[in-house]
Amino acid sequence: MDRKISLVINEICKKHGIDYTSINPNFTSFLKDAKRLGEIILEINSLIDELENIFQRHNIQLKSRLKLENDLEDLKNLDHDLIKLATIIKNE
C-alpha cells in the first residue's frame, strides 16, 4: 500500500514541479518497466501472428521456414518469460 501512496505523491509532486524523494524511488521505474514489458509482449504476439498469416497465405515452403518456425517458438517462449519478469517487477 505504501508503494502506491508513494507513487501517487511522486506523480503529483512531479506534475506541480515539487522536488520529492520517494521512500521507494525505484517503484516508478518498476511500474514503467512492467508496462513496457507488457507492450513488448503484445508487439511480439502481433508480429508472430502476422508472420504466421503471411506464411499460410502464400504457402511459403522455404528451407529457412523451419528456422523461422523455431525462432517463432523461441519468441513465444520469450513472451512467457517476459510475463514472469513483469510480474516479479510489479510485485517488488
Upper half-sphere CA count for residue 20 (Cβ side, 13 Å): 17
The three cell numbers of residue 70 are 523455431
Q: Is the pTM of this model over 0.85?
A: no
* Residue-level pLDDT at 74: 80
Range of the domain at 75: 2-91
Place of cell 511522486: 10
Place of cell 518469460: 81
* Residue-level pLDDT at 38: 77
CA distance 25 to 7: 9
Per-residue pLDDT of the chain (92 residues; tens, 9 = 90+): 455 676 777 788 888 998 887 666 666 676 677 778 778 878 887 887 888 788 889 887 666 666 777 777 787 777 777 777 777 776 76
Count of domains forming the chain: 1
From the number of C-beta atoms within 10 Å of its C-beta (0-12, 13-18, 19+), residue 31 rates as middle
Residue 24 and residue 6 in contact, taking contact as beta carbons nearer than 8 Å? yes
